[in-house]
Every structure is written in structure tokens, then in C-alpha cells.
């Protein structure tokens, strides 16, 4: 009887240990899934607040959690890719990256659908295209190997099949990342390459791998490891340039977290310096002129001509960037009515604006649009008919309420500097007819501005 009890107890203990061992991965998966869902919720809250770059960063963190938990093919990971596509498409205006994210989602879950709260016809069309292409990437085979070279373990080439590569999860910024892969005799590639996409890039860059036996070695250069993560995959190609085997793919790349790397980058109209600083100043000047109406300021002559020049103005500005592509600023406009020769005319025209700029590229560079409201006076010069030569140029003032809109082009100069050229239209609305000694009229001013933006 005692022996029977011992055997029953032993069996119960084994069953308990087996149940515990079986439950541990499930608990780990549940914990990772909860963390991923929390990050998705946080990311979309940032998206709703127009913090698109922060939303992108959090969703990439969720993908890193999924990869570490070996949940790359879990439906919850498909939802992360889907939301990343929404952020790229509707927030960062990057359709190419959005389609790549939708493709990643569709490869995991072909039935995945957009949330009604975020869906648009254009976005739905892009997701449908990604679903149609899902499953078309080149496949890989075989298990992982330890990196070869540099004292790594030898590889028995007779046992290698497909492309074998130890996936890298983390890397140190500021130094080259060396990757090895073994390629089996069943592949017979024309070339093997690392395809990587640096932070902020939309296209993959090729780094050719050099063979030593069946082991290929390549490098992702340190310049690409300047952000918080990088995507890569290893691919073998045939003579026609088609992928015949791979470890990862363009649709489902491997994700490497960069430790000690840089972040941010140029943001165009306001160049975002490294770190958490969020302010900029602008030193801008220009020239222009306007369509004017009403009466001149000194002689009170009727304006008979429609266009009046202002040869010089200065626009100092201080601003704050809300995200990588959007800034809000306080801007002054100091105009100088050069050429006016009526005694007592004002030598300056002060005005101030609240301006918002939006870069159309997710990088923040390139085309920039702006809008603003403000108040003050803009003064243009106008020639009087029949007046003495030394008193024939008067001033026409517009304002005091201004509404402005414009477009420009921003080019990064490196570091925290950017060059910007802008063409602005400012409508002056005379909500009052006089402001001090100034007689105010309706007019539309066109300004061309050129200057430097300095982030700090």
C-alpha cells in the first residue's frame, strides 16, 4: 500500500511539473501580448494628438517586444503593423512605408481590416493592394548558425540548406555591424546581400556579402546605425536579380534596436537637433510689394495705381516644433518703406504674426506650407502724380488685421541649420480706419523671404 502511495505521489508531482512547464510559455505570451496591446493603445493616443513620430516609435517598440517573444506571426503583431501603416499613411504622409507595413500585416493575417475610426478610401485601397501582394516574398530555409569569422565557430557546409543566419536583435551605434550567413548548395546564388533600411529611410540599401566557402560576410555601415532601430534582411539572388532564398524579407524585415545611436535628424523648416531640444530661431529677410487701395498716409491722395513696392523687410522668428513636420512660431515683420520722401513719413512698419508651418515630406525637408494671423502695419511706397520730384513718393499702409498663407522650400545644411525660401501672401484687413497717425487700407502683400533656421 505504501509503495502504491509513493508511486501515485510521484506521478502527481510529475503531472504538476509538466503543467507548470506548459503554462510558463503561455503566461509569458500573455504578458508580452498585454504589453504589445498597451503600446498600441499608447501609440494611437499619440496619433490622435498629432504626435505621429512618437506613435511610430512606440509601435516599433511593440514590434521589438513581439520579436523577442517570438510572436512575429501572432495576430496581435499584425495589428501593430496595421496601425504603423495608418501612422505612415495618414500621419507621416509616407505611402511607401505605409504599404510595406500593410504588407507585413497581411502576411500574418490576410483577413485584417482597418478600424472605422481611421479608415479612408485611399487607405483601404492601399491595404487591398498589400493583401493582393502578400505571400509573394522570397522564402528562406534552415536554422540559425553562429556568426562565422573573427573567431566564430566553423560551419559544416554539407549540413547547410537555404540561407542560415543568426538574427541580430540589438547592436551598438557608432560602429559597423558585421553580419554572417551560410548559404546551402541547394541555393547556388549569383549574389548574396544584406538589404538594410536606416531610420527615416523608405527604401532598402544593398550591402554585398563576400563568400568564404559557404559563409558570406557583409557590413551594415555605422552611418546607418544612427537612429533607434534599423530593418534588415539577408537575401540570395539568381542571375535575373530575383530573391531565391532569404532570412527575412522586404515585407517582413528583421528589426535591430540600436543602443547608443543617435536619433531625430533634420526636420526641414526647423532642423531638429539631437536630443530633446524643441526650439528654433530664424533669421529671415526679404523683399516684396502689394496690391493696395485707399489713400496715401501723408498726402491723403487717392491710390490710382494698384501695385506698390516695399524693397526691404526683416522677419525674426522664434518657434517650437510640435512634431517632426509641424511647427508653431511667433514672427515679427519689420518693413522699411525705402524711397518714401514725404516729410514726416514713418520709417518703419511693425507687425507680428502667429505662424504654423507644415512640411509635406515625413523627413521635414522639401516643400513646406504655412498659415498665420497677426496684427500691425505694412507700409509700401507709391509714386504720386504731378508732385515735385523731391516729394513725389508717399506711403500706403495696410492692416491692422492680417491673415497670411504661403509655401516654401527647406533644405538641410547639416547640424542644426536649414536654409528656407518662402513666398507669402498677407491680406491686410482695415477693421479700423486709423491706428494712431496711420490711415489704414485694404491690401494684399506678396513677400519673398530667404533665411536660416537654427535649432537648439
DSSP letters of 200-247? T-SS-EEEEPEEETTEEEEEE-GGG--SSEEEEEEEEE-TTS-EEEEE
- pLDDT tens readout for residues 406-446: 999 988 776 678 889 999 999 999 999 888 777 899 999 99
Q: Residues 37, 76: contact at Cβ < 8 Å? A: yes
pTM of the predicted protein model: 0.45
Give the rounded distance of the alpha carbon of 407 from its chain centre.
Answer: 19
113 close to 83: Cβ distance less than 8 angstroms: no
Stretch 349-353: mean pLDDT: 95
Cis-peptide into 400, omega within 30 deg: yes
Which range has highest mean pLDDT (220-234, 250-264, 340-354, 357-371)? Answer: 340-354
Are 157 and 137 in contact by the 8 Å Cβ rule? The answer is no
What's the chain's length in residues? 456
* Grid coordinates of 225: 546605425
The predicted model gives 181-191 an average pLDDT of: 90
SS3 at position 345: coil
Give the residue-averaged pLDDT of 290-302: 88
- Residues near 389 by Cβ (< 8 Å), separated by ≥ 6? none
**List of domains in the chain:** 23-133 (1.25.40.10), 157-259 (2.60.40.10), 279-455 (2.40.160.20)
Q: Rounded mean pLDDT of the chain?
A: 80
**Strand-pair partners of 210:** 217
Q: Are 163 and 187 contacting, i.e. CB atoms less than 8 angstroms apart?
A: yes
Strands 393-398 and 438-441: parallel
379 or 365, which is more confident?
A: 379
Amino acid at each position: 500500500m505504501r509503495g502504491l502511495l509513493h508511486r501515485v505521489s510521484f506521478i502527481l508531482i510529475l503531472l504538476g511539473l509538466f503543467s507548470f512547464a506548459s503554462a510558463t510559455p503561455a503566461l509569458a505570451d500573455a504578458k508580452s501580448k498585454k504589453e504589445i496591446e498597451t503600446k498600441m493603445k499608447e501609440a494611437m493616443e499619440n496619433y490622435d494628438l498629432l504626435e505621429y513620430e512618437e506613435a511610430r516609435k512606440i509601435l516599433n517598440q511593440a514590434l521589438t517586444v513581439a520579436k523577442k517573444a517570438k510572436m512575429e506571426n501572432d495576430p496581435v503583431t499584425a495589428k501593430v503593423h496595421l496601425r504603423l501603416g495608418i501612422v505612415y499613411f495618414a500621419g507621416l504622409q509616407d505611402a511607401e512605408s505605409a504599404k510595406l507595413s500593410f504588407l507585413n500585416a497581411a502576411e500574418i493575417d490576410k483577413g485584417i481590416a482597418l478600424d472605422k475610426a481611421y479608415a479612408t478610401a485611399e487607405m483601404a485601397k492601399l491595404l487591398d493592394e498589400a493583401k493582393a501582394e502578400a505571400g509573394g516574398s522570397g522564402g528562406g530555409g534552415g536554422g540559425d548558425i553562429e556568426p562565422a569569422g573573427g573567431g566564430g565557430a566553423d560551419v559544416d557546409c554539407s549540413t547547410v540548406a537555404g540561407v542560415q543566419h543568426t538574427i541580430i536583435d540589438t547592436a551598438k551605434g557608432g560602429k559597423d555591424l558585421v553580419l554572417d550567413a551560410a548559404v546551402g548548395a541547394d541555393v547556388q546564388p549569383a549574389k548574396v546581400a544584406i538589404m538594410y533600411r536606416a531610420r527615416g529611410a523608405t527604401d532598402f540599401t544593398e550591402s554585398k556579402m563576400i563568400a568564404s566557402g559557404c559563409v558570406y560576410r557583409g557590413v551594415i555601415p555605422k552611418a546607418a546605425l544612427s537612429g533607434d532601430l534599423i530593418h534588415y534582411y539577408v537575401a540570395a539572388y539568381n542571375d535575373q536579380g530575383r530573391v531565391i532564398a532569404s532570412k527575412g524579407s522586404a515585407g517582413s524585415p528583421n528589426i535591430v534596436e540600436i543602443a547608443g545611436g543617435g536619433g531625430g535628424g533634420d526636420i526641414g523648416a526647423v532642423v531638429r537637433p539631437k536630443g530633446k531640444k524643441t526650439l528654433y530661431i530664424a533669421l529671415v529677410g526679404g523683399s516684396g510689394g502689394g496690391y493696395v487701395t485707399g489713400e496715401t498716409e501723408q498726402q491723403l491722395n487717392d491710390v490710382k495705381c494698384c501695385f506698390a513696392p516695399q524693397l526691404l523687410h526683416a522677419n525674426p522668428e522664434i518657434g517650437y516644433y510640435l512634431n517632426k513636420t509641424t511647427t508653431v512660431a511667433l514672427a515679427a515683420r519689420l518693413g522699411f518703406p525705402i524711397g518714401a520722401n514725404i516729410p514726416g513719413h514713418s520709417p518703419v512698419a511693425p507687425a507680428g504674426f502667429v505662424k504654423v508651418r507644415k512640411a509635406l515630406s515625413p523627413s521635414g525637408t522639401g516643400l513646406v506650407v504655412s498659415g498665420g494671423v497677426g496684427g500691425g502695419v505694412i507700409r509700401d511706397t507709391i509714386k504720386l502724380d504731378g508732385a515735385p520730384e523731391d516729394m513725389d513718393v508717399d506711403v500706403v499702409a495696410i492692416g491692422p488685421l492680417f491673415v497670411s498663407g504661403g509655401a516654401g522650400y527647406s533644405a538641410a545644411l547639416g547640424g542644426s541649420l536649414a536654409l528656407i525660401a518662402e513666398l507669402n501672401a498677407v491680406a491686410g484687413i482695415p477693421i479700423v480706419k486709423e491706428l494712431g497717425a496711420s490711415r489704414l487700407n485694404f491690401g494684399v502683400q506678396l513677400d519673398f523671404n530667404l533665411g536660416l533656421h537654427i535649432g537648439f
